[in-house]
Chains A and B, each alone.
Chain A
Amino acid sequence: MARRVSNRRKTLVTIVAWAVGIAIFFPILWTILTSFKTEAEAIASPPKFLFFDWTLENYAEVNSRSNYFLHFMNSVIISVGSTLLGLAIAIPAAWSMAFVPGKRTKDVLMWMLSTKMLPPVGVLIPIYLLFRDSGLLDTRLGLVIVLTLINLPIIVWMLFTYFKEIPGEILEAARMDGAGLWEEVVHVLTPMAVPGIASTLLLNIILAWNEAFWTLNLTAAKAAPLTAFIASYSSPEGLFYAKLSAASTLAIAPILVLGWFSQKQLVRGLTFGAVK
């Protein structure tokens, strides 16, 4: 028997769910609306929701003040680059942990996760010195390396939980057929793990996109991503709500769109092995 639901109940749930959804989304909606107001309207009392003079002047202003495209490209390169590099390192590691577990496998995994608990502010100065000496300051490569390292534990763990759900017998069968290690990984394991890898990829792009400590502190002009772009609008002199909203909208829009389009994949994979 499928769950039969009375229409009355469905209507009620619909109303509640939409109300909650809109409430949760509201801060973002409000930011987007405010970005189309003038500065004076942005702080008008009582606040104006839809009936104001829609204007693009804030976007024009933001565009003339900063090189949005450069920051955007940096964000893309850094987040995608660090995620791909991370996957390249993490897939073999997660594979071996999942299919050839040793006595210490779980300890290694937990140790990896614990490296994520290092407070970044505590090690900024050493890293800055190292980057200076290796010429990595203000380079995309430098940020790709750092973000790969800080997100690696999460990537390894996520992949590990997916791989573990793949039944070992399939691999046994492949091995019987004479598949080598490489074929096993490429032809058998990877296709099965695609949903897991896809959602790992998405989650890590999001995490890397939003990382605001290292990206801000290790860059100047050339490699600065959108987090640095936001830092130039956060509290200037004078009224700034509308300009801040426009800059915020520009900074979060790409990842928001990506997230929305790929939410099915993201949701399907975002289990961390939480579901048996």
Chain B
Amino acid sequence: MTVFVRALLGATALTLAVSPALAEKLTIATVNNGDMIRMQKLTDDFTAKNPDIELEWVTLEENVLRQRVTTDIATNGGQYDIMTIGTYEVPIWAKQGWLVDLNDLPASYDIDDLLPAIRGGLTVDGKLYAAPFYGESSMVMYRTDLMKKANLEMPDAPTWDFIKQAAAAMTDKNNEVYGICLRGKAGWGENMAFLTAMSNSYGARWFDMDWKPQFDSEAWKATLTDYLDLMNNYGPPGASNNGFNENLSLFQTGKCGMWIDATVAASFVTNPKDSTVADKVGFALAPDKGLGKRGNWLWAWSLGIPAGSQKVDAAKKFIAWATSKDYLKLVADKEGWANVPPGTRTSLYENPKYQEAAPFAKMTLESINAADPQHPTVDEVPYVGVQFVAIPEFQGIGTAVGQQFSAALAGTVTADQALKNAQMITERTMMKAGYIK
């Protein structure tokens, strides 16, 4: 036992003593999404060019990742040199001075090539605080064969009324075909991302200019009622636990007629290796209600450097590599153009090879451009963010409200009760946080 203890102490002493950098070690926290996993496999290219930098990966599921990196950065824990964060975190963290600004990336990075909407979401006071790895909006993905069977034609820019009509026509429960699949799993990044974006197109908003919650408005009521109506009549069973992944596998296995979700899903559903419906998918913009806003969101998984990091230069080198044009080309060479991380660079969408390989390119770009995080709603609001409200309290409220709407979908509370609860939950938190008296 003593030998073991000694070995143990020795081992821990080794880990405690940070090896005096022959090679600088970057610890990178990232989310376990397909594009990130692919990047991890391609990093030999980076380490070959930068032999003095070693990479260590911490790959976590989205919710765990968010909790880990937020705890770490807020307590100045210094565990990570690069963090994968989204458009929700960047404005909040940048305001706290927690992120290193990335304006001095080399000229070859071509910062002006970033899509303006995405860049805008990651910029605070004119400075870029995180580099987008991939960007997404949301759009309608539908089965062309089922639409044809139903004698309908999907317009490029459908309305919610049309979506409902199409869902009804495509549903065939006996054969396990459900007209529409939407997110139902509770979470600010799950069902609330969809519902908040949808509510924008219905003219609803989270808060008025005095930060008063608006769930008692007619617009929210219409949003939730229509959503429940769609899902209860034409949705799959168990929808209240379906998030992005669950819907993706439903769609890939041919069980959904339409699916309104992240544009990145397009490359998964058209990939014949994973999808049984790869050659039967069409795309359209997220629906609207004729009020001038569409129900699509804007998100970018991005790489940022915590302000406390000792290895800023190495970290910047890595970020410049991972989000560069060359990286896109590297992926294209190895895995084909359809698999490059989408939604970050104008040049990608101008590339004829990409346009050819990715039938969803045009619709993705249009969806991203149609989102405006600075002015997300029909009426004026005091906040930034399309499918979220960029205040620290939002994660908590968003998830609690998401629980209510998820319960409404499961049928354990009525729509009215869910809205009433949502209003109360939000009021309580906003009162506690001092936004309203």
Residue ranges of A at the interface with B (Cβ–Cβ < 8 Å): 39-40, 43, 64-66, 77, 80-81, 84-85, 124-125, 128-129, 132, 135, 137-141, 144, 216-217, 220-224, 228, 231-240
Sample of 10 A–B contacts (CB below 8 Å): A43-B253, A66-B57, A84-B5, A132-B75, A132-B76, A137-B77, A141-B15, A217-B67, A235-B62, A236-B32
Known contacts A129-B75, A222-B15; A239/B27 CB under 8 A: no
Nearest residue in B to A135 (C-beta to C-beta)?
A: B16
Residues of the A chain whose Cβ atoms lie less than 8 Å from the Cβ of B248: 237-239
Judged by a CB distance under 8 angstroms, whether B41 is at the interface is yes
Residues from chain B with Cβ under 8 Å of A221 in the complex: 27, 56-58
Q: Is the CB of A84 within 8 A of B4?
A: yes
Contact (Cβ within 8 A) A84 B58: no
Contact of B249 among A85, A144, A228, A239 (CB under 8 A): A239
- CB <8 Å contact, A232 and B32: yes
CA gap between A124 and B75 in the complex, in Å: 12
Q: Are the C-beta atoms of B61 and A138 separated by less than 8 Å?
A: no
Q: Which A residues touch B41, using CB under 8 A?
A: 64-65
- B interface residue numbers (CB < 8 A to A): 1, 4-5, 8-9, 11-12, 15-16, 27, 29, 32-34, 37, 40-41, 56-62, 64, 67-68, 71-72, 75-80, 243-245, 248-249, 252-253, 264-265, 268, 274, 276
Cβ contact within 8 Å between A236 and B75: no
Q: How far apart sit A148 and B245, CA to CA, in the bound complex (Å)? A: 37
Pair count A-B, CB < 8 A: 116
User: A80 and B4 in contact (CB under 8 A), knowing A137-B77, A139-B16, A238-B249?
Assistant: yes
For A236, the closest partner residue in chain B by CB is B32
Point out the residues of chain B lying under 8 angstroms from A132, CB to CB. Answer: 75-78
Question: Provided the pairs A132-B75, A237-B34 are in contact, do residues A220 and B40 lie with their beta carbons within 8 angstroms?
Answer: no
Does B5 lie within 8 Å of A217, measured CB to CB? Answer: no
The answer to whether B59 touches A66, judged by C-beta atoms less than 8 angstroms apart, is yes
Task: State the CA gap A238–B32 with chains docked (Å).
Answer: 11
Residues from chain B with a CB closer than 8 A to the CB of A138 are 79
B56, A216: Cβ atoms closer than 8 Å = no
- Which residue of B64, B79, B264 is within 8 Å of A231 (Cβ)? B64
Q: Closest CB of chain A to B239's CB: distance in Å? A: 16
Inter-subunit contact B58/A217 (CB<8 Å): no
- With A80-B4, A125-B71, A220-B58 known as contacts, the answer to whether A139 contacts B245 (CB < 8 A) is no
Q: Known contacts A39-B274, A128-B77, A132-B78; decide if A235 and B15 are in contact (CB<8 Å).
A: no
Complex: chain A residue closest to B59, CB-CB = A232
- Shortest CB distance A224–B (Å): 7
Name 4 extra pairs, CB < 8 A, besides A65-B40, A125-B75, A234-B61.
Answer: A65-B37, A129-B75, A217-B68, A217-B71
Which 9 pairs show the lowest CB-CB distances between chains A and B?
A141-B12, A232-B59, A220-B79, A221-B56, A236-B32, A234-B61, A232-B32, A237-B34, A132-B77
Alpha-carbon distance between A216 and B29 when the two chains are bound, in angstroms: 13
**How many Å lie between the Cα of A238 and that of B243 in the bound state?**
11
Docked complex Cα distance between A237 and B245 (Å): 5
A231 touching B15, Cβ below 8 Å: no
Question: What's the Cα separation between A73 and B248 when bound, in Å?
Answer: 35
Query: B274 near A238 (CB under 8 angstroms)?
Result: yes
Residues in A neighbouring B252, C-beta threshold 8 A: 238-239
Which residues on B sit within 8 Å (CB–CB) of A40? 274, 276
Inter-subunit contact B16/A141 (CB<8 Å): yes
B311 to chain A minimum Cβ distance, whole angstroms, is 14
B35 nearest in chain A by CB position = A237
Partner of A65, one of B33, B59, B245: B59
Chain A residues in 8 Å Cβ range of B77:
128, 132, 137
Closest to A233 in B: B32
List the A residue with the shortest CB-CB distance to B74.
A125
The CA of A217 and the CA of B67, in the complex, are separated in Å by 9
Complex Cα–Cα for A93 and B34 (A): 51
Measured in the bound complex, the distance between the Cα atoms of B72 and A128 in whole Å is 8
The complex places the Cα of A231 from the Cα of B59 at a distance, in Å, of 8
Nearest-neighbor residue (CB-CB) of B185 within chain A: A235
Residue of B nearest to A80 (CB): B4
Query: What's the Cα separation between A234 and B59 when bound, in Å?
Result: 11
The interface residues of chain A lying within 8 Å CB-to-CB of B78 are 132, 137
Q: Is A240's CB under 8 angstroms from B27's CB? A: no
B59 near A128 (CB under 8 angstroms)? no
User: A residues within 8 A CB of B61?
Assistant: 231-236
Q: Check if A237 sits within 8 Å of B15, measured CB to CB.
A: no
Residue of A whose beta carbon sits closest to that of B60: A231
Give chain A residues whose Cβ lies under 8 Å from the Cβ of B76. Answer: 132
CB of A237 within 8 A of CB of B5, answer no
Closest to A240 in B: B245
